[in-house]
Amino acid sequence: MAKYDAIKKILYNFCKKNPNLKKNQVVDHFEKLGFKQRSIYRWLELIYEKKSLKRKVGSGRPAKIATKTNIEIIKKKMTKTFGISQRPVAKEMKCHQSYICKILKKKTNVVCYKKIKKPKMTASQKILAVPKCRKMYEKFKNLDFVMDDESYFTLNNSINSFNKHFYSSNRKKTHESLKYNYQKKFDEKLLVWICMSPKGVGIPLIKKAGMAINKQTYLDECIKQRLLPFLKKNHPHGHYVFWPDLASAHYAKDVQKFLKEKNIRYVPRSINPANVPKARPIEDFWANLKRKVYQGVTQFQNLEELKDKIISCLKNIDLKSVQAHMRATSKRLINVWKNRE
């Protein structure tokens, strides 16, 4: 800085002694002496405008942020944290957010990861999940798993995170159906029940739903009309085990009585683990189906339109992928049993 201050002083004195010289003549004179043309022009502008040549405090290139100390501070602030973004850290460090991003990427091993959804298990569920999965694996490892489950589809797709944003060049002119997610307090919904195994997927039940499936609907329309024909067609030799979830309707007395009468082997309630979607491929099936049903749709007009879309998506489902996931059920049980998930 002292060097530049000396040059500025020489330039100022030269202009004072030679007031009749033009700007380009002054620049040529100093350029021959080895000074940079750009700097001379900038300082001459200040002299002609009768402004000070002294450097303002805080002007010029900002101080280097990526020192060892600052890198450690940034790393500490961003490691094992959630609910924090790079912007407030950048503001605190007095630099741009992109610079924080660059430091994290090139100077540290800190990476931003997306949170994975995982069911909230109670303490007793966590304790019992491991031995129950082990018992299920040891008892049924050589059999095909047949699963059933039900899920609910509403007219509105606001429950899906991929539909929470929209793109537009003019927000004011964007149609209301894109700008807003309309949702009733008690929205109409469809109950969709389905069964599947490594042999394929059964005929679904799709009907207007209230709160939850009851035991009579489950027994008459799901077990008798759909599950039983599916088992006779795909598992005539009985080399399977039926694995329902722990919904109260699934283990109702009338349901268990019917299953025993028809010699349908099923997982006893005593060894059926609660809240282990990682072990049940049918949970992945629902996630993929809902993604397809609601993709690009903001609001279904009525239940019939929603039903048609569900049927269409079910027809185009990747059957080979579903079968492959079902064949891996035993491996999934091992993963839960050995705490790999």
Q: From residue 299, give the alpha-carbon distance in Å to each of 159, 199, 305.
A: 12, 35, 10
The contacts of residue 192 (CB under 8 Å, 6+ apart) are 150, 151, 152, 153, 204, 205, 206, 310
Q: Is the pTM of this model over 0.75?
A: no
d(CA 290, CA 292): 5
Question: Which pLDDT tens digit goes with each residue over 244-296?
Answer: 998 899 999 999 999 999 999 999 999 999 888 888 999 999 989 998 998 87
252 neighbors 218 (Cβ within 8 angstroms): yes
Residues 64-81, mean pLDDT to the nearest whole number? 82
Highest mean pLDDT among 77-91, 173-187, 242-256: 242-256
Q: Which residues have CB under 8 Å from 44's CB, separation 6+?
A: 11, 15, 23, 26, 27
Q: What is the mean pLDDT of residues 316-326?
A: 92
pLDDT at 180: 60
pLDDT at 223 over 70: yes
Average pLDDT, whole number, for the chain?
83
Of 77-86, 230-239, 252-261, the one with minimum mean pLDDT is 77-86
Q: What is the pLDDT of residues 131-177, one digit of tens each?
A: 899 999 999 999 999 999 999 998 876 555 545 555 555 667 776 66
Least confident of 15-19, 58-62, 109-113: 58-62
pLDDT > 60? residue 67: yes
Q: What percent of the chain lies above the pLDDT cut of 90?
A: 36
Look at residue 341 in the predicted model and tell me its pLDDT: 47
SS (H, E, C) the chain: CHHHHHHHHHHHHHHHHCCCCCHHHHHHHHHHCCCCHHHHHHHHHHHHCCCCCCCCCCCCCCCCCCCHHHHHHHHHHHCCCCCCCHHHHHHHHCCCHHHHHHHHHHHCCCCCCCCCCCCCCCHHHHHHHHHHHHHHHHHHCCCEEEEEEEEEEECECCCCHHHCCCCCCCCCCCCHHHHCCCCCCCCCEEEEEEEEECCEECCCEEEECCCCCCHHHHHHHHHHHHHHHHHHHHCCCCCEEEECCCCHHHHCHHHHHHHHHCCCCECCHHHCCCCCHHHCHHHHHHHHHHHHHHCCCCECCCHHHHHHHHHHHHHCCCHHHHHHHHHCHHHHHHHHHCCCC
Mean pLDDT of 24-45: 82
d(CA 239, CA 235): 7
pLDDT at residue number 340: 47
Asked if pLDDT for residue 307 goes beyond 80, the answer is yes
Mean pLDDT, to the nearest integer, of 201-230? 90
Contact between 31 and 7 under an 8 Å Cβ cutoff? The reply is: no
